[in-house]
Structure 1
Amino acid sequence: MKPTNFLSDIQQRIASIEASLQQKLLLLPEAALNHKFTSESWSVLECLEHLNRYGRYYLPALQQALVHPRGAARPEEEVGLSWFGRKSYELVRPENRKAQKTLRRMNPARSHLTPAVLEEFQSQLANLQALLPLMAQANLNQKAVPVEFFRLLKLRVGEALLFVVAHMQRHVQQAERAAAVAQQQLQPA
């Protein structure tokens, strides 16, 4: 996929995430935001806190890669995925509903969370949006974004961006399911 088409797809994905946040999650009362279907499931806030934890690492890493590029943009070159980038994307893509193990430090289960989690997530979405114009000027195939759990491995700029956005989509969908259960179970009889 050409960089302009790739970034257009990313922009649409982000817009969809923002719409879900505005229309489905920001309107919920705090009890619904913290409601868990089972002791092992995540609440709406836990889903978003998980994303915040990843965003605290990947957003600055992406920005760093864009501020200190190692190559010029190549608008005619297809945005490619390495073997590792493809596998990383496959694990987090929203269509993959298979539960994945998360690193302990990225697992927000049993955390005391407040609606401030929503504000941080909105801020991270805005920061991600602000990076898109820089992405249009970058070489998206440059290996420049260290992987959070093993920093010697690096993702290409484009695949790191795809990973972050797909991961957001996956967990926002999970948050929407948690919200639907919460609204159903917390309704007065």
Structure 2
Amino acid sequence: MKISASALLNELKERTYQHLEYVRTLTLKTEEELNFRASADSWSTLECLEHLNRYGNFYIPEINRNISSAGKSTQSYFKPGILGNYFAKSMLPKEKPNKMKTLKTMNPIHSQLNKDVIDTFIKQQEKMLELLEKAQDIDLEKIKTSISISTLIKLKLGDTFRFVIYHNERHIEQIKRILMH
């Protein structure tokens, strides 16, 4: 699969705008609604967002650091890496989502959370949009980023963006299901 780099970045920006728009509507909900969980071992809306914030705390500085140290060099096309493509595609929401284990440090279950979690998510997504904009001027294949489970494994920047944004989408869909209860 080979995709236009600008088309990829535009698609990722559009998804991020949609995530931001949706999460901003959550500020109208009560903390009781946002802390509701369907069962004792399932996440609440705020826990889903906190989970995403924890990943954002790793990936946003990692992406920023690598973009900042990159020289300007555009590439018209982006070809995903094998591992990066696998990770990114595994995050896309499905009709019947597959359960995934999360790292203990990324699992916010039973945390005491308030609406500050929403503000953090919004700020992180605004920063992500800035990074996607800066990425227009760099090679999405040449720049590599570490991943949260191991700094030894590196993904192409384009795959890292896809992974993080698809992961956000996966949990936004989860939030929509939680709020339907």
Bin for the TM-score computed over the shorter chain: over 0.9
Partner of 1:31: 32
Partner of 1:12: 14
Q: Percent identity?
A: 28
Contact persistence 1:147–1:154 (CA under 8 A)? yes
Is the counterpart of residue 83 in structure 1 residue 82 in structure 2?
yes
How is 1:1-189 mapped onto 2 (pairs within 5 angstroms)? 1-23=3-25, 25-69=26-70, 72-74=73-75, 76=76, 78-95=77-94, 97-181=97-181
Contact persistence 1:17–1:169 (CA under 8 A)? yes
CA apart distance, 1:87: 1.4
Q: Deviations over 1:34-54 (max 9, x none)?
A: 010001110000000000000
Partner of 1:187: none
Q: Secondary structure at the match of 2:144?
A: strand
| Letter aligned with residue 14 of structure 1 | T
Residues 70, 154 of structure 1: CA spacing in aligned structure 2 closer, same or farther, 3 A cutoff?
farther
Contact persistence 1:46–1:113 (CA under 8 A)? yes
Contact persistence 1:92–1:166 (CA under 8 A)? yes
| Letter aligned with residue 89 of structure 1 | A
Q: Secondary structure at the match of 2:154?
A: strand
Contact persistence 2:67–2:143 (CA under 8 A)? no
In the alignment, the residues of structure 2 paired with residue 140 and residue 93 of structure 1 have an alpha-carbon distance, to the nearest angstrom, of 20
In the alignment, the residues of structure 2 paired with residue 117 and residue 106 of structure 1 have an alpha-carbon distance, to the nearest angstrom, of 14
Which ranges of 4 or more aligned residues in structure 1 deviate by more than 6 Å? none
Contact persistence 2:19–2:169 (CA under 8 A)? yes
CA apart distance, 1:95: 2.4
CA apart distance, 1:72: 2.0
In the alignment, the residues of structure 1 paired with residue 147 and residue 31 of structure 2 have an alpha-carbon distance, to the nearest angstrom, of 33
Partner of 1:186: none
Unaligned runs of 5+ in 2: none
Number of residues paired by the alignment?
178
In the alignment, the residues of structure 2 paired with residue 106 and residue 142 of structure 1 have an alpha-carbon distance, to the nearest angstrom, of 28
Q: Deviations over 1:44-90 (max 9, x none)?
A: 0000000000000000100011001167222x2x2111111011112
In the alignment, the residues of structure 1 paired with residue 58 and residue 155 of structure 2 have an alpha-carbon distance, to the nearest angstrom, of 13
| Letter aligned with residue 122 of structure 2 | Q
TM-score normalized by the length of structure 1: 0.90
